Structure 1
């Protein structure tokens, strides 16, 4: 999908009032984050655990001293560890789950900074494209109002860093393609973006392609410059990853990705992506679709070569991201799609400019104001009615369940005690005990078992025994104590305690229960002599 752009109008001056409006947008965008000030997710604690171990000199590892490529955003982990070294207590494990960890405050502060920078850079990108100040200001205004952006910006996740680098890369590609500047910076930012979210490799390929397509002369030189930038941004980490982990991409997590090219999973992922995008970005998507339907590809072909290359990239990025997630059978959540939102906003505002091109300047400004108002209203409703209340419930449940289990394990088990769990973040962070990850993010040998057999079979039949013999298991289910069948002499599970979490996810609002079991391997060996013999 590529939105047509009107012929470039004479550049309109930027006045102090426009700066004042941009500052107001910035303040409103940061204000939109306040309902999520206390928000944390289990995935947040995965990043925090990696950063904590780096600060403590225990390597790029979730389980201390066991290097693994279990973070999908190595750049975010390195940033948190780098900043956290200068924050007292950031490398220590808290003794109280009710208190926000210092390293979490570091992550939240970084997220707010990256959101603010993204808002400023979007306005600059609009000016790079030659837009009127009102249209350029619409871009940060729309992102500031975006419900999913607000949810994830200070969650402690890598999302705001990824969005910032995408906006930075879009601006650099625009300057290279439209203004004829060198492609190295564009490639550099694209390369760094891949270390924030691995899906950004799609954007990196599109960005290098746009730089190459825009070049009328010296195409090879400009393409090589862009590729050199990508190598400079991503190359050092890729070399380290290969030497440390013998892989270039993060470990596959069956908790987030299913089997590729399975029709049922592909349809489910596509539906989830569309539902998420429509909930927040229906208006810019609709504007782009209508503009393309009315104008057709002819207007795109009429654009100068550089502009055509830029808009092809901007339009292809959201489509290919959704297609890639669907092809992988990924269990899509909103933060996976946020790096594509700047492109959707660009397409929507460009389409509105094309549609209102024959109106007077004042009416064009009114059209932009109307767009922002119509966009902000449902996003604000989504935040206040659904997203923020869920975030509060989820964080409270996470602290009372997995985080509390972690503190218990730290106080009641020997340091090297291994615990198996499907959700590793909060438990691993607070327990300082090695975990056996039942979905394979930090225990890669579990990933194919999880994909092939499914979670219920893993815990019911103790299939994780092929990888390790943990002393305890944390089970996630809709009911407590489902595994300790006292009438079965072959059952090695001994129930200890259960804790409920009211909302596992915003798309899974039903309550779930985490049950803690000890595992009697002597019972297992007695009832499974063949396996016991093999494991001697």
Structure 2
């Protein structure tokens, strides 16, 4: 006689856990949805690739030029698939990133709770939920939310020994952003540290390569290289000579905004949290990735954009909270603290902490909202009207030279000479003459675009800093329109008729 075991009952603890996960996920979504109104300029670069794919022009920014100027081919193809089905792919992209970023909060809550306790996990996730950079960039149109979730998922899958899934997600992550390779390096390092089977490790590495192989073969055939041209261009054009500049920006973003006292406190808590993490085996890979990521971007001195800092914030907040927990544990050894915790003062202390969190959250969300509104203002008051002016006043074959190519490139639908060289190989060659800077003068002299858009007066003062350059520019280009928003002015110059 065959007996069937009765289904296991779901315990109250499991139900409470699922409620916690759902609450975190829903709150994360609700906090991020309002930021969908904002789109950063660089997102429009990917959107223009998507539009060209859907329109049948190919995987190109400028029709006819096979240049891989986006660093997120998988996200681009994902959006193009939705667009082909008739959906608004920009909305789909933003919603996908919001869902992914909210899932990151849940995932990190699970990891931190297992490594520490529920109090630490909740404290960390409350900070992460309202992290300004994650609020903004998860809904900005960039792939940041997807990238953050996938890298945390890979680290989680390694700890859970779900290695087939780890390899699959790892291969896909590199196609979301090439610096996803850093987390795979960390996984390989811990595979050796943990003395896992080398033969199995090679099998999983082969699976990762197999996942990326179709794109590698296609990109090599189609573009000539699977390495995005924008990576090479950024390393040339936007590489700064200021020592540790990338790290300085991170310091300002995460700590220095709190003033000197706040920065010192955050640094002390972060340092304590990092030291404590060294004793928590489950969190070591997360720390290793953070250090490798910061070290790599600091060394190469490029990528000083908000979406490169956003993936760090969840772990930085986590380590700060762990540091605070360690301080609390040590303080509990003091007789005075024991007396406080056994008296009614503990209620006042808890209330003060809750009010402090609510105040800090309010400030953080408000600050992120102000930044988002600036992006909205730039799109409505600059990118859209500039694009419309160009459409109304130039022929379809006209060319436009500009550094911030996303929004104007999207709305103008004209050929774009990218001053940074991200989508323009010819401009990249010109910029090799001025490493770390943009060779605008050389671009205008060589290719004579119909429209040149300058940040006025900064770009005019820095790009044409000799009498000869100023004379040539005035003789060949005339100002036609200016647009101002959030303290920035963009002036359009038109090529004079010869």
Into which bin does the TM-score normalised by the smaller protein fall?
A: 0.7 to 0.9
User: 1:291 Cα shift?
Assistant: 4.7
User: Which residue in 2 is equivalent to 1:93?
Assistant: none
3-state SS of 2:171 partner: helix
Which stretches in structure 2 are left out of the alignment for 5+ residues? 1-10, 334-340
1:273-352 maps to which residues of 2 (within 5 A)?
273-278=250-255, 279=257, 286-291=268-273, 300=279, 307=281, 311-330=283-302, 332-348=304-320, 350-351=322-323
- Counterpart check, 1:107 vs 2:93: yes
User: Which residue in 1 is equivalent to 2:248?
Assistant: 271
- Give the alignment partner of residue 139 of structure 2, picking from 154, 166, 187: 154
- Counterpart check, 1:493 vs 2:471: no
3-state SS of 1:248 partner: coil
- Give the alignment partner of residue 192 of structure 1, picking from 126, 148, 172: 172
User: Which residue in 1 is equivalent to 2:431?
Assistant: 450
User: Which residue in 2 is equivalent to 1:7?
Assistant: none
1:9-48 maps to which residues of 2 (within 5 A)?
14-48=13-47
User: Which residue in 1 is equivalent to 2:207?
Assistant: 229
User: Which residue in 2 is equivalent to 1:426?
Assistant: 407
Bigger mean CA deviation after superposition, 56-65 or 278-287: 278-287
Does structure 2 conserve the Cα–Cα contact (< 8 Å) formed by 1:257 and 1:328? yes
- Counterpart check, 1:239 vs 2:225: no
User: Which residue in 2 is equivalent to 1:96?
Assistant: none
Summarize the Cα distance change of 1:390–1:346 in structure 2 as closer, same or farther, 3 Å threshold: closer
User: 1:148 Cα shift?
Assistant: 0.8
Bigger mean CA deviation after superposition, 116-125 or 64-73: 116-125
Given the two structures, how large is their TM-score scaled by the length of structure 1? 0.75
- Give the alignment partner of residue 142 of structure 1, picking from 115, 127, 130: 127
User: 1:226 Cα shift?
Assistant: 2.9
- Give the alignment partner of residue 201 of structure 1, picking from 171, 181, 202: 181
Summarize the Cα distance change of 1:335–1:490 in structure 2 as closer, same or farther, 3 Å threshold: closer
Does structure 1 conserve the Cα–Cα contact (< 8 Å) formed by 2:477 and 2:496? yes
Alignment partners' CA distance in 2, 1:408 and 1:261: 33
Given the two structures, how large is their TM-score scaled by the length of structure 2? 0.81
Deviations 1:447-490 (A, max 9, x none): 3533643798733x343544x34222112233798889997697
Bigger mean CA deviation after superposition, 154-163 or 314-323: 314-323
3-state SS of 2:494 partner: strand
Summarize the Cα distance change of 1:479–1:499 in structure 2 as closer, same or farther, 3 Å threshold: farther
Does structure 1 conserve the Cα–Cα contact (< 8 Å) formed by 2:131 and 2:313? no
Bigger mean CA deviation after superposition, 231-240 or 418-427: 231-240
User: 1:73 Cα shift?
Assistant: 1.4
Bigger mean CA deviation after superposition, 116-125 or 72-81: 116-125
Does structure 2 conserve the Cα–Cα contact (< 8 Å) formed by 1:265 and 1:326? no
Which stretches in structure 1 are left out of the alignment for 5+ residues? 1-11, 89-101, 503-510, 523-536
User: Which residue in 2 is equivalent to 1:122?
Assistant: 108
Alignment partners' CA distance in 2, 1:237 and 1:60: 13
- Greater helix share, structure number: 2
CA RMSD of aligned residues (A): 3.7
User: How many residues matched?
Assistant: 465
Does structure 1 conserve the Cα–Cα contact (< 8 Å) formed by 2:133 and 2:313? no
Deviations 1:215-244 (A, max 9, x none): 35xx21231133123213433222222222
- Counterpart check, 1:172 vs 2:174: no
Alignment partners' CA distance in 2, 1:452 and 1:488: 19
Alignment partners' CA distance in 2, 1:391 and 1:17: 35
Deviations 1:282-339 (A, max 9, x none): 777643412555x696xx4xx7xxx3xx544221222222221122222523320222
Bigger mean CA deviation after superposition, 74-83 or 191-200: 191-200
- Give the alignment partner of residue 388 of structure 2, picking from 404, 407, 413: 407
- Counterpart check, 1:398 vs 2:379: yes
